[in-house]
Structure 1
Amino acid sequence: MPNILLTGFEPFGGESINPSWEAVKQLDRASIEGHNVVSRLIPVAFGTSIDLLKKSIEELNPAIVIAVGQAGGRSAISVERVAINVSDGRIPDNEGRQPVDEPINPNGPVAYWSTLPIKAVVKAIREEGIPAEISQTAGTYVCNHLFYGLMDSLASRRDIRGGFIHIPFIPEQAVRHSGQPSLGLRDIIKAIEIAVRTTLTYEADIEAIGGSIH
């Protein structure tokens, strides 16, 4: 049975949980459209995160890789469009590293596009009553770092599709952050499963509005 690799991050920034891992671990060993889901925990660490992801890809040879990360303050499932070749840490990572304007791959391109059908994924999630959007930036912290490392690794692997999804806080986090939006863990899990199913369904993305003026 072919594999699907899902990754989530450990807690960071003073949080006791990270909803990205809480969600993807619930899908570990699930079967989706004849594919076996394998979920892996990724450290919030520049460099180390990419190394672990590459090892997982080599081990599993998955058909699809979807990395998931927490983006506190966002109000919807954010399907990322592009990863950029820079790490610029607003805060130190969990190993104490805080790079400033460092290229992720000094010999790599400025950016990589997601190879997920991002607009089809957003449409499918919205049709299930869950808020979703195309995001034009994955930031410059470890999420973007991992996203770029993923796509850099897949640049020579046209048989593997990959991308990144940011998710909001879950309610138990939002109660500690006044005014911050949240989304229930059940909806997040459902959205990730929809993203997998949609990617298996669509070889090419749909044509739909997904731009932003911000």
Structure 2
Amino acid sequence: MAKPLLITAFEPFPGVPDNPTETLLRSFAQMDDDVLSTARHVILPTRYDVAPARMLEALNFEASAVIMTGYSNRATALTLESRSTSASLPDRPDSAGYCPLPSDAPIAVHDTRLDLGSMVAALTAEGLDAEISDDAGSYVCNHVYHAALSGPCHSDGIPGLFVHIPALPGTPLAETAAGTMSLKDMQKGMGIIARMVIAN
């Protein structure tokens, strides 16, 4: 049997006590969608020292492609991240209170090999807000993505993509977020994205 798609989300972290990615991921199990409901679902701790390793462990042994999701208070759409970097934020602690030590090493950059333009076109054709970003930030989200793109998803490796999502309407996060999107639209969008990732 072919290995399934891996989809990851994050647990709460400072400033985000109820992570919408966890809500979204948990909803897939109840959906009538043969891709999203049967994918391997992994919720990662928002920790620099744990999340990348947990993702790689699941990816290396239980998946043939990966979609990683994260919440961004700047997102106004399904935001497809085109690249990752080795940069970190030494002044923003993770859920365990840890901050990476500053480094003088050159910043490494890795790009996803997926055709994000086609994905955005497919999403917008269905009436969904979507955009491409070339900055995944420097928090744990970026670290997880960098672990994928510099490892199993590098070059001609397996497909990998990070998607930042907005807040869910009616939640406390929505009061300060740049944008919101309904759970239904997020589910629909992730179904489109998942099928296009698998097709690569």
TM-score, normalised via structure 2 length: 0.87
Aligned to 1:52: 54
What is the CA–CA distance in structure 2 between the aligned matches of 1:73 and 1:199, rounded to whole Å?
24
What is the CA–CA distance in structure 2 between the aligned matches of 1:152 and 1:197, rounded to whole Å?
23
- Correspondences of 1:126-141 after superposition (within 5 Å): 126-141=124-139
What is the CA–CA distance in structure 2 between the aligned matches of 1:187 and 1:100, rounded to whole Å?
39
Q: 1:191 aligns with which of 181, 189, 192?
A: 189
What is the CA–CA distance in structure 2 between the aligned matches of 1:43 and 1:20, rounded to whole Å?
12
Aligned to 1:72: 73
State the identity as a percent. Answer: 25
What is the CA–CA distance in structure 2 between the aligned matches of 1:101 and 1:75, rounded to whole Å?
31
Aligned to 1:173: 172
What is the CA–CA distance in structure 2 between the aligned matches of 1:11 and 1:155, rounded to whole Å?
26
AA of the residue aligned to 2:148:
L
> What runs of 5+ residues in structure 2 fail to find an aligned partner?
none
Across the aligned residues of Structure 1 and Structure 2, the Cα RMSD in angstroms comes to: 2.5
- How many residue pairs were aligned? 196
Contact 1:5/1:39 (<8 A) preserved: yes
> What runs of 5+ residues in structure 1 fail to find an aligned partner?
204-214
SS at 2:193 equivalent: helix
Tell me which stretches of 4 or more aligned residues in structure 1 moved more than 4 Å: none
Contact 1:170/1:184 (<8 A) preserved: yes
TM-score, normalised via structure 1 length: 0.82
Say yes or no: does 1:146 pair with 2:144: yes
Deviations 1:59-109 (A, max 9, x none): 30x221010000012211110011011212442101111125448xx7x97
Contact 2:83/2:110 (<8 A) preserved: yes
